[in-house]
Chains A and B, each alone.
Chain A
Amino acid sequence: MRPEPLIELHGLSFTYSDGTQALDGISFQIRRSERVALIGPNGAGKSTLILHLNGIYRNATAVRVCEMPVTKPNLAEIRSLVGMVFQNADDQLFMPTVFDDVAFGPLNMGLGADEVRRRVTDALDAVGMAGLENKAPYHLSSGQKRAVAIATVLAMDPQVLALDEPVSGLDPRGRRRLIELLKSFEVTLLIASHDLELVLELCERCILIDNGRIIADFPARELLSDAPLLEAHGLEKPWSLRRSQE
């Protein structure tokens, strides 16, 4: 039996208030333990899509998380199920200390002080940032910020981790560390990224969107080998695939 779907989209469309249609009839499912990449050129609608998954933009009919429609009464639960890591870590780290920031989510979930402390320690351990508890987030390097941002959602023990451009702005070592870190997780992953090598390494499935529509939804290796398709949508076939097939 296949694992149950954690995220279901049925014909999701979205238009911004200035009239830009960012999403146009998107449908797919993500099942437990899947690692899915969302690729597409700038402005394709990746970020907009991700913001629908935990109800920042709400669509009760088209989006279901763990069999729940995204409605106001379900929001609190849905937000603890879907951990969201945003494109810009500075927007995500808003508390005065790393500890307070990582504790923010668990405290909002109503957990007790001891449990919160345990979760903060575990989450910071998991991302290799133990010992930074009392640092101010604005004193961290970009790589550290990204890792701490991931810890802030890990501490809520989510079922799905959705990451928007997780490695943009990181140096090669920071990028490598983050990839290894994400590989070590067992949670279901949805990653929006332009870094196709990363996609190839981390995800078994890949969804290509452009202009708010799904163009292709295939196993990552297959989709990323299709140079003409990628080029038609502003992307390039990853180098590692080119060499291996020439």
Chain B
Amino acid sequence: MERGTEGDSPAHGPAFDMHHSYLDKFASMDSPVHRLDPRVKTLAVAVFIGFVVSVGRREVLGLVPFALFPGILVAVSGVPAGYLLRRIAITSPLLLSLAILPPIFSRQPALYFGSFAVTVGMLNAANLVIKFCLCVTATLMLTSTTPFDRLLRGLQWLGLPKALLVQLSFLYRYLFVMADEGIHMKVARDSRLFARAAPGRRLRAVGGALGVLFLRTLDRSERIYAAMASRGFDGTVRTISELKFRAADFVFIGATAAYCCILRFGLM
């Protein structure tokens, strides 16, 4: 299914190559989800998250059908579930530290399974965990099926300030270059027996290296600015918008909205 021969395969290139597709690793694949207009996709995910968050804090079973939306996206897009699970796992310490609080503080029973009392706190915690997973999965589906530049155009369409998006775009572009530079410096340092240096000298060397990295970045930004100025940059980044809505986009956003409404208002 892979379209490009991008640096995704682990067999390809040196270690720092792996940074390349950190966020939109699977974005160059092809599927109906990938083909959706980024604006529609961004809007649909925003709507979905809005509805999920608005569900009452004690609702647990009612949340489960919401899983259908990210579930279908995952199934249709072909993004490996393992990748998503790993991404969710990365955020789990934060989630667990939040979910552990309600069962401790609200202990009044809400319902009984036989003689087992389920407390309000437990319901709140389960509710929180499910909501979190739903929202994170939906967001991950957005970011991993949309190339970064198109994602930014989607966000721009939704009204995020252009200056911020331009900055994000440059950040994304040059993060890799900077990571490379940092790695090169580390390699140069280690090959000069850095590990054998005394701790005090090491600390100073690290400080110095960070300073140099900063200066190099400054130099680079000056060179990039020169390149931009050479091509007539006057403060506005212009692109030709080639985005076009297709019928499938309207069907998708309509279905998503209807589905969210039915689940949400059916529950009340």
Which residues of A come within 8 Å of B, CB atoms? 51, 54-56, 76, 79-80, 82-84, 86, 88, 90-92, 94-97, 100, 103-105, 107-109, 113, 116-117, 135-139, 152-153, 156
Contact = CB atoms under 8 A, between A and B. Distances in A.
Given A97-B149, A107-B238, A108-B232, A88 B20 contact: no
Interface stretch (B35-43, B190-198, B218-226): B218-226
Contacts of B169: 95-96
10 contacts: A91-B224, A91-B227, A96-B152, A97-B147, A100-B239, A107-B238, A108-B232, A108-B238, A138-B20, A153-B230
A58 to B, nearest CB: 11
Interface of B: 4, 6-7, 20, 147-149, 152, 169-170, 172-174, 176-177, 220, 223-224, 226-234, 237-240
Given A107-B238, A138-B176, A94 B7 contact: no
Contacts of A137: 173
A216 B169 CA distance: 45
The 6 closest A-B pairs by CB, nearest first: A96-B149, A108-B232, A105-B231, A107-B238, A91-B223, A84-B230
Nearest to B8: A139
B231 A56 contact: no
Given A91-B223, A103-B238, 9 more contacts: A84-B227, A88-B223, A91-B224, A94-B170, A96-B148, A96-B169, A104-B237, A113-B240, A136-B147
Contacts of A91: 220, 223-224, 226-227
Q: Is the interface of B mostly helix, strand, loop or mixed?
A: helix
B226 A51 contact: yes
Given A94-B224, A139-B7, A108 B231 contact: yes
Nearest to A156: B231
Nearest to A54: B230
Contact of A86 (B152, B177, B227): B227
